[in-house]
Amino acid sequence: MEYNLKSAKDALETVEKLGIDFYRFWPNFTKNSTRPSIISKNIYRYEDENLGIWEDVSYNPYSNMGTIIDDSISHGGKKALTDYLKKVEQNIDNCSIGNSYFMTASSVPWEENNFYLLKTVLKNTFGKNFFVCGCGGLPFPAYVKWLPLYLELMIDDPSLINRHNEDIHYIWFKCLKEQVKIGVSGIIDGYDFAFNTAPLFSPEHFKKYFLPYIKINTNYCHENNVFYIKHEDGNILPFIEEYLVDSGIDAFQAINKNAGMDIFYLKRKYGRQICLIGNIDQSSSLVYGTKTKIKNEVKELIKKCAKGGGFALSSNCSIGDEVSVERYKYMLKILNKYGEYPI
C-alpha cells in the first residue's frame, strides 16, 4: 500500500509540475488481489481458481506494456465462457473486475482499500488542483484473447452475450458508484470499440449491446453532478451520432486522426453539444516530430477547436514510453503560450 501511495503521489506531483489539469485513477490492487505467477521470462499468469479462468500476459520491457497472449476461455470456447459466467453469477455481489486488464471478473470483492489512493489524493491539497477522474467500465472485452469468440456470439448467441454484459456491467457499476460517492470530478472509460479503419461491430450491435450501458453510466453520473468521458482512439464514424449524442456523454477523448477521425469536422457538427479532448499525434509528432510541427499542430487545434469552449488539448492516444519527454514538454509550453480561449 505504501508503494501504491508513493507512486500515485509521485505521478500527481509530476502532473502538477508539468501544468496538466487532468489525472485519472484506476482502482488500486490490494493484498487480496490476484497476483500473477511467473510462467517464463516476461510471461505471467493471472489465475482465478474460484471462477475457473486464467490469462497469460507477455510483458515488453521496451514499450513497458503487457499483452494478453493466451487464456482459458480461448481454449474452452463457448462452454468455458458459459461456465465462467455461471460461477460469476453464483457470487456476483462479492466479485470485482480484476485479473490483468480489468476485462474479466475477479472473485476478490471490491473493498475500501481499492479506493485508498483516490481517497488520499482527494483529501490532500495537491489533489484539489486537478480534474481528478475515476475509472468506469463497459462490458466489452476489448483486449482479451477470446474477443473473436465474443464477436461471433454477438450474432450466434445474443442471449449469452446479454448475460455476459449484464454480469460485467453490474460489477463495474458498483465500482463507478463508489468513486462518485468518494468525490471524483468525472468518470472516464477506456474501452475501445474500433480499429483505425472501422468499428469491430455494426451500428446495430452498438445500439443493442453497448449504448444502453453507456446511458446508465452517464445518467447516474449526471444525477450526481459528475461528468462522463468516453475514450476511443479508433474509427467510430458509422455510429458517431449515437456515440456522441444519444449516449449522453459529456466529452469524447482521443479522437485519433490516424483512424480517420477529423476533430475539426466534429467541432463544427457537435461542438455545441459535447467537449472534445484531443488530438496531438502521439505516434508521430511526439515521438520524432520537429518543434515546428508540434507548434503548428497545437496552434491549429487551439484556433479551430477552442472558440466557444468545449475543448481540451491532449494527445490522440496514451502517452507511452516511446514519446519523447522533450517533445511532450515542448507541446505543453506551446499550449501554455497560445492556450487562452478565443471566446
Alpha carbon distance 48, 72 (integer Å): 11
Topology of domain 2-29+78-338 in CATH is: TIM Barrel (3.20.20)
pLDDT digits (tens, 9 = 90+) for 220-275: 999 999 999 999 999 999 999 999 999 999 999 999 999 999 999 999 999 999 99
Predicted pLDDT at 343: 42
DSSP 5-38: HHHHHHHHHHHHHHT--EEE-PPPP-TTS---EE
**DSSP-assigned beta bridge partners for residue 71:** 55
DSSP 81-106: HHHHHHHHHHTGGG-EEETTTT-EEE
**DSSP-assigned beta bridge partners for residue 44:** 38, 57
pLDDT digits (tens, 9 = 90+) for 273-332: 999 999 999 889 999 999 999 999 999 999 999 988 999 999 998 888 889 999 999 999
| pLDDT above 80 for 340 | no
Tell me the C-alpha to C-alpha distance, in Å, between residue 126 and each of 10, 84, 91, 120, 309: 11, 42, 39, 10, 26
Percent of the chain with pLDDT over 70: 97
Predicted pLDDT at 237: 97
pLDDT digits (tens, 9 = 90+) for 151-181: 999 999 999 999 999 999 999 999 999 999 9
The residue count for the chain: 343
Other beta carbons within 10 Å of 239 = 22
